[in-house]
Chain A
């Protein structure tokens, strides 16, 4: 289990309210370059991008390089507009994609 995510946001919010979204991710964020013991080096393998859409519209993007820690945390805000899914998508070096979804109910 090298990837997992814990997404924290209020279950519901009033229309127009600004909500904070906190995302803790399990990932080694291997910056690469260490010896592989066979004369070569380990390739970089990090999550290089996190995007978030809310009811289908992009609201946030986080571009990550090797300066982001292992098991990274990120938080950001969005204005509650309508009840809908917030979909998080991570892109890993090598092309793997991970997704998670959280629901925001707007009252």
Chain B
């Protein structure tokens, strides 16, 4: 029996459907969960509100506001965030929500890109993701997305950094256990951009991933770069069915 279990652990593929993936919210204290759900307490809603304003604001020159094309975003973009990251058909590139906003801004609005982690891009991303609150994640991992998915899966399983740890070792193997003051989660990422107490601020999933990389003393990749994009796709696929919670609150 013991041997069978050991074998099962060894052959368990990354992101196996055998383990039920839980939202980061399940690892918060009840107090913080209540705060997250309460619009009068969750500071993340300030970013959502700012994003909603930006969405309707005409950019410099004679460009259209986002809402000029995406009318009634509450309906037309409801659910959009559940399908990101996705491969852009025209270029074959993997885009997350941030990447799609930037693409729209540069190509359709003829504006300079905001830049990753800028307050404007964070706000717009938080707003668009918030339109999918409660809807289940369902990204595609087949077809053009498959190589990106495989790359993300490989990243998740690869030992990295001076601590020689893979994402999987903690976020599959030690979920629910304590790491200093934190409870190890599945790393679902379904609440980002999220308001993190650690940051006193709203930040992107890639900012969080950079902190993970630093935590295991590994190379911190560029926010918006190919490594974290592929990982984001893998995490989103692994979190299939979990509801979007943006703007979540996290430790």
Determine direct contact between A and B, CB below 8 Å: yes
Give me the interface of A with B, judged by CB distance under 8 Å: 1, 4, 6, 8, 22, 24, 26, 28-29, 69-71, 73
Which residue, B40, B41, B49, has most C-beta atoms of chain A within 10 A? B40
Contact call B200/A6, Cβ cutoff below 8 A: no
Indicate whether A70 sits within 8 Å of B200 (C-beta atoms), given known contacts A1-B50, A4-B46, A4-B49: yes
By a CB distance below 8 angstroms, the chain A residues around B195 are: 71
Give me the interface of B with A, judged by CB distance under 8 Å: 39-41, 43, 45-46, 49-50, 119, 195, 200-201
Contact call B40/A6, Cβ cutoff below 8 A: yes
Q: Complex: how many Å from CA A1 to CA B57?
A: 15
By a CB distance below 8 angstroms, the chain A residues around B41 are: 22, 24, 73
Contact call B40/A8, Cβ cutoff below 8 A: yes
Q: Complex: how many Å from CA A22 to CA B45?
A: 15
- Among B46, B50, B119, the residue within 8 A (CB) of A6 is B46
Contact call A22/B49, Cβ cutoff below 8 A: no
Contact call A69/B50, Cβ cutoff below 8 A: no
Nearest residue in B to A5 (C-beta to C-beta)? Answer: B46
Indicate whether A22 sits within 8 Å of B201 (C-beta atoms), given known contacts A1-B50, A6-B45: no
- Among B39, B46, B200, the residue within 8 A (CB) of A69 is B200
Q: Complex: how many Å from CA A8 to CA B41?
A: 10
Given A8-B40, A24-B46, output 18 extra A-B contacts at Cβ < 8 Å.
Answer: A1-B46, A1-B119, A4-B46, A4-B49, A6-B39, A6-B40, A6-B45, A24-B41, A26-B43, A26-B46, A29-B200, A69-B200, A70-B200, A71-B43, A71-B46, A71-B195, A71-B200, A73-B41
Indicate whether A70 sits within 8 Å of B201 (C-beta atoms), given known contacts A1-B50, A4-B49: yes
By a CB distance below 8 angstroms, the chain A residues around B39 are: 6
Shortest distance between the CB of A51 and any CB in chain B (Å) = 20
Q: Complex: how many Å from CA A6 to CA B200?
A: 17
By a CB distance below 8 angstroms, the chain A residues around B43 are: 24, 26, 71
User: What are 7 contact pairs spanning A and B, CB under 8 A?
Assistant: A1-B119, A6-B39, A6-B40, A22-B41, A24-B43, A24-B46, A28-B201
Indicate whether A24 sits within 8 Å of B49 (C-beta atoms), given known contacts A69-B200, A70-B200: no
Q: Which 9 A-B pairs have the closest CB atoms?
A: A70-B200, A71-B43, A26-B46, A8-B40, A22-B40, A4-B46, A1-B50, A24-B40, A73-B41
Nearest residue in B to A9 (C-beta to C-beta)? Answer: B40
By a CB distance below 8 angstroms, the chain A residues around B46 are: 1, 4, 6, 24, 26, 71
Q: Complex: how many Å from CA A71 to CA B40?
A: 12
By a CB distance below 8 angstroms, the chain A residues around B201 are: 28, 70
